[in-house]
Structure 1
Amino acid sequence: MSKPIGHFTSYTINDGSLLESLQEEYGPTFELMTRHEKLFLISALATQLCDRAPGRCRDEIYVVGHQINSSLSQADREGLVEAMINQVRRGRSLSDTEVLPMK
């Protein structure tokens, strides 16, 4: 069962925020959005967050992205999205000072 957006965000009841408005319009688990709309928002949010993150991708990561999209099942791709979101929020990542060599 999906958890409401307040579980993942700073939303609190009656705070008058955009998050409250989104929950009222689309439901606490965005159940009133289509799957396509949810994926679009994931893409838009990830693109904006990526653009604001310092550093740049190693060239090999573009290749990895292509390999993932062309070789893995939809379920595995969705699982990777979930895993990487968890890692971005709670896991350790290389910092810009820990530059790895380009392959």
Structure 2
Amino acid sequence: MSKPIGHFTSYTLNDGSLLDSLQEEYGSGFEKMTKREKLFLISSIAIQSCDQSPGRCRDEIYVVGYQINSSLPQADREGLIEALINQVRWGRSLSDTEVVPVK
């Protein structure tokens, strides 16, 4: 069973926010959305967040993305989404000022 959106966000019940209306419309765990719709929202949010992040991706990361999408089964790709979200939110990342070795 998944946790409600309030577990992951600043949502407070009946606060009149967008999160409140999303929970009302789609359920506390988005159970009234299809898997495709959830993946679309993940993609949409990730693209916007990436565009707003400073710096650029190393060329090798584009290759890694291709390898992941062409070689891993769906369950492992979904696991990587979960792991990467956890790292973006709670983990340490290289800053854009740190030297990144180019392969």
Instruction: State the partner residue of 2:69.
Output: 69
Structure 1, unaligned runs of 5 or more: none
Instruction: State the partner residue of 1:94.
Output: 94
How far is the alpha carbon of 1:101 from its aligned partner?
A: 2.4
Aligned amino acid, residue 15 of structure 1: D
How far is the alpha carbon of 1:90 from its aligned partner?
A: 0.3
Instruction: State the partner residue of 1:57.
Output: 57
How many pairs are equivalent?
A: 103
TM-score between the two structures when normalised by the length of structure 1: 0.98
How far is the alpha carbon of 1:3 from its aligned partner?
A: 0.2
Instruction: State the partner residue of 1:78.
Output: 78
Aligned amino acid, residue 62 of structure 2: Y
Q: Percent identity?
A: 81
TM-score between the two structures when normalised by the length of structure 2: 0.98
Q: Deviations over 1:11-69 (max 9, x none)?
A: 00111100000000000000000111000000000000000001100000000000000
Of structures 1 and 2, the one scoring higher in RCO (CA 8 A, sep 6+) is 1
CA–CA distance in structure 2, aligned partners of residues 31 and 51 of structure 1: 29
Q: Secondary structure at the match of 1:30?
A: coil
Q: Which runs of 4+ in 1 moved over 2 A?
A: none
Give me the CA root mean square deviation.
Answer: 0.6
CA–CA distance in structure 1, aligned partners of residues 64 and 54 of structure 2: 20
Q: Secondary structure at the match of 1:57?
A: coil
Structure 2, unaligned runs of 5 or more: none
